[in-house]
A and B are shown apart, each in its own frame.
Chain A
Amino acid sequence: MNSMISFFKSSLGKKYLMAVTGILLFLFLIGHLIGNLQIFGPPELINQYAHFLHSKPLLVWGARLGLLLIVGIHISTAAQLTRENRQARPVAYAVPPVYGSSWQSRYMLVSGLVILAFIVYHLAHFTALLPGINGVGDFRRLETTLPGGEKGRDVYAMVVLGFQVWWVALFYLVAQGLLFVHLGHGLASMFQSLGFRNHVWAPRIAWFARGASTALLIGYAAIPAAIYLRLIGASHAEKAKHQLAVSPAGPRMFSIQTALSPLEADLSAETGKEAAK
């Protein structure tokens, strides 16, 4: 146990932590993308998938806590490394030496922090369903009848309505761009940190990092882009939208106006006008 602790306290051990948590997050990103790409199918597909996930609270909460732990380790180790790395050069150069290093590798902290901001927003947006931050309304009111006849949340309409808001779509796209930057370096670097690299594998690893980060970028960016360009889901969203305005009787329902800031009320009024045209 002692040797474990001293291992993970060393500079090399911290890089092992970064790499292992990085791989796990990368695997999560692949799974999450496959789930999300169901938005390109009929509305029932992703709604049923969401219903399935919510019917397994143990699975969902296990995954959430696991992810929280992994992200926590990744970020706190990144913070420690950043602090130590800065302390290692107390006097800066007049001409910063940037020879041979890719800019992605020099901006890991910046790209990481934008991803963190995105994660917080994304959770508030589609997981906690905070009505005040999405520019549309209270997503909790969106309901649909599932193929099995049960009532369930209309996740399809939520995602489509969510990404029809230009600034939300833009923020998601920017975050995907920075994730691409982060992984363009990180996916190659993690092999190095774990000791899996030699002259034979170095070029293959570089290709893997480029390919995998590009594939994730295309996959994730396609969703807000296709929705914002009204390529998918516009008619379904139009039909679902009335639920946001007309509140069915229920104790936790409240008027949409109180939930929205004036700016966002403006925005939804705008989209309403457009829809009326």
Chain B
Amino acid sequence: MKVTLKVWRQKNRHTPGHFASYQTPQLNPNMSFLEMLDVVNEDLASRGEEPIAFDHDCREGICGTCSLVINGKPHGPHRGVATCQTYLRSFKDGDEIIVEPFRARAFPLVKDLVVDRQAFDRIQHAGGFITVRTGSPPDANAIPVPKESADLAMDAAQCIGCGACVAACKNASAMLFVAAKVSHLGLLPQGQPERYRRVQAMVKQMDAEGFGACTVTGSCEAVCPKEITLDFIARMNRDYGVALLRGAPKKIAGGGA
């Protein structure tokens, strides 16, 4: 099969970008979308043209590095699937496929389809961790965790931080990502001591990065390759409200001892 690619090309942040059309060489329908780009790039390189820059790493749907907005949908046509796991058999011979980078002020463009998603790292640094060492895996049931909480925490922990939620949201909001990270630790016993401080710190950093707010359209959960749900955003909102009610910790007089 062959397809026509309409791809966003942009040398760097400071030069304006544009769409360029490429007719692909003969392709195998069982190639992944990224393998198709590899083939196109080889073809471009052999003609002395600059290859298309795109992000990728594991190519098995677990690292969150691949991105791309394919025909208006981050990570391509399927639900719960990342770009690297999207195959050409999902398209038809002769299709025109429009490929754009994730677009958000907080994800500045690096080149062509590559954007800088370090804003997510900074949000994680603000509170997406447990300060003390939790040690090696404890004996089973040494710390009881209700099964439902463990299941929910696992659902949230699936987030691979790809940023598709931001790309899909009409407000370029990072709520789904932050909610997943807040909930994942907030549902487990080890995450309790810093639960409310964490949500405040991460939301503060999220706002500072210039992401939008949530209008509850549901686009994010529709494109999430790990099918994280909007329920987690409600959980984050709840924790944020509770954090306000709890207030700042009581001042300790005398400095202890």
Which of A's residues lie within 8 Å of B, judged by CB? 3-4, 7, 10-16, 81, 84-85, 87-102, 105-106, 108, 185, 188-189, 191-199, 202
The answer to whether A202 and B231 touch (CB under 8 A), given A96-B72, A99-B73, is: yes
How far is A11 from B244 in the complex, measured between Cα atoms in Å? 14
Q: How far is the CB of A52 from chain B (nearest CB, A)?
A: 39
- Return chain B residues, CB-CB under 8 Å to A10: 203-204, 207, 240
Contact in complex: A89, B168 (CB < 8 Å): no
The answer to whether A89 and B244 touch (CB under 8 A), given A99-B73, A100-B219, A196-B234, is: no
The answer to whether A197 and B72 touch (CB under 8 A), given A3-B244, A105-B215, is: no
How far is A102 from B215 in the complex, measured between Cα atoms in Å? 11
The answer to whether A87 and B216 touch (CB under 8 A), given A98-B72, A99-B168, is: no
Interface SS of chain B: helix, strand, loop or mixed? mixed
- Number of A-B residue pairs having CB atoms within 8 Å of each other in the complex: 159
Contact in complex: B69, A97 (CB < 8 Å): yes
Interface string of B214-243 (1 = CB under 8 A from A): 111111111100000111011111111100
Contact in complex: B219, A97 (CB < 8 Å): yes
Contact in complex: B222, A101 (CB < 8 Å): yes
Contact in complex: A93, B171 (CB < 8 Å): no
Q: How far is the CB of A187 from chain B (nearest CB, A)?
A: 11
Chain A residue, CB-CB nearest to B238? A195
Asked if B211 is at the interface (CB within 8 A of a chain A CB), the reply is yes
Contact in complex: A100, B244 (CB < 8 Å): no
Chain B residue, CB-CB nearest to A19? B237
Contact in complex: A4, B244 (CB < 8 Å): yes
- Return chain A residues, CB-CB under 8 Å to B240: 7, 10, 12-13, 195
Contact in complex: B104, A97 (CB < 8 Å): no
Chain B residue, CB-CB nearest to A95? B72
Contact in complex: A100, B100 (CB < 8 Å): no
Q: Of B213, B215, B239, which one neighbours A195 at CB under 8 angstroms?
A: B239
- Return chain B residues, CB-CB under 8 Å to A96: 72, 170
- Return chain B residues, CB-CB under 8 Å to A89: 103-105, 170-172, 212
The answer to whether A7 and B218 touch (CB under 8 A), given A88-B106, A93-B69, A192-B233, is: no
How far is A74 from B77 in the complex, measured between Cα atoms in Å? 37
Contact in complex: A101, B213 (CB < 8 Å): no
Interface string of B236-256 (1 = CB under 8 A from A): 111111001001100000000
- Return chain B residues, CB-CB under 8 Å to A15: 213-214, 237
Q: Of B103, B221, B239, which one neighbours A92 at CB under 8 angstroms?
A: B103
Give me 19 A-to-B residue pairs in the complex whose CB atoms sit less than 8 angstroms apart, sorted by A's number: A3-B247, A11-B207, A12-B237, A12-B240, A15-B237, A16-B237, A85-B173, A87-B105, A89-B103, A95-B71, A97-B73, A99-B72, A99-B168, A101-B219, A192-B216, A193-B214, A196-B238, A197-B230, A198-B231
